Amino acid sequence: MILSVEQVTIRSRENIIVDQVSLQIRAGQWFALVGQSGSGKSLLSQAIGQMLAPNLQVEGKISFKGRDLFTLSRKEMRTLRGSKISYIFQDYQGSFTPFRTIAQHFEEYQKNHTTRSAKERKDEAMRALQSVGLEEILYHRYPFQLSGGQLQRVSIALALLLSPDLLIADEATTALDSVSGHRILELLARRQRETGCAILFITHDWRHVRRYADHIAVMKEGTIVESGGKHRVLDHRRDDYTKQLIQAAPTLGHGLPSGLQEVGEG
């Protein structure tokens, strides 16, 4: 098991925000965590990486490949979070310093987590950019010189650069138009097949869930109300809240719009 979340509770001084949530993610699995805004999905993902705000307290146990994450020091957690657990955020633009080139971002990331030589770092960065369909010339540009789709692909390249065992994608396509969003998800699916990483996919879009997920957990007001294999949850859902969410969702198509099978320019 790559990730095990056991009876995790997240509370502020006034409220319980996430209440005794448990889930397990296997190696190579695409695990969709679905729910409306404010259900606690993102807070749970932040708890995994120990990135919660200081005013929040977390209880329970989170284990990564059998290792209790709550026993790690900040330095150990930073190392693990950069090399074995990676994040793609909805606000991916906030992950970049505007006046540092893409090359400098790749340099810093690898210097912090590897002992690669300067040549090796550049070679790996070039391969990572090529793997997400970007040209070498973008390596020397600044974030504000890239389109939204290009910059999102750079963030994916960085997240996958060290071949993490777990990729956490938190509403990774919400800020993109539907065409760019589909391309990003196709890219993630291809990279998952190539690397065998597990994906924790946090979303409210049931169309993406149907196409990509293996397993689904539905979250409501800080609790998991339904969990199971994709076809069981989608076709034989038991919880009334799950039924309401699916019925309210746009038509759950099975395919991509014409011409989007390949990653194109974002």
Total domains in the chain come to 1
Would you say residue 255 lies in a domain? no
Q: What angle do CA 124, 174, 24 make, to 5 degrees?
A: 70
Query: How does residue 252 score in pLDDT terms, banded at 50, 70 and 90?
Result: low
Q: At residue 5, what are phi and psi to the nearest 5 degrees? A: -110, 120
Q: Nearest 10 degrees: CA dihedral of 156, 159, 162, 167? A: -110
Query: What are residue 24's DSSP bridge partners?
Result: 4
The radius of gyration of the chain from alpha carbons, rounded to an integer in Å, stands at 18
Q: Is the pLDDT of residue 37 over 90?
A: no
Which residues 6+ apart lie within 8 Å of 127 measured at CB?
none
Comparing 173-182, 208-217, 245-254, the range with the smallest average pLDDT is: 245-254
The Cα 207–Cα 211 span in angstroms is 6
The Cα 263–Cα 186 span in angstroms is 7
Query: How does residue 254 score in pLDDT terms, banded at 50, 70 and 90?
Result: very low
The Cα 85–Cα 115 span in angstroms is 18
Comparing 121-135, 179-193, 198-212, 224-238, the range with the smallest average pLDDT is: 179-193
pTM over 0.85: yes
Average pLDDT over every residue of 32-60: 94
User: Domain holding 199: CATH number?
Assistant: 3.40.50.300
Average pLDDT over every residue of 234-242: 86
Q: At residue 39, what are phi and psi to the nearest 5 degrees? A: -80, -10
Would you say residue 265 lies in a domain? no
Would you say residue 215 lies in a domain? yes
Would you say residue 165 lies in a domain? yes
Which range of residues forms the domain containing residue 93?
3-248
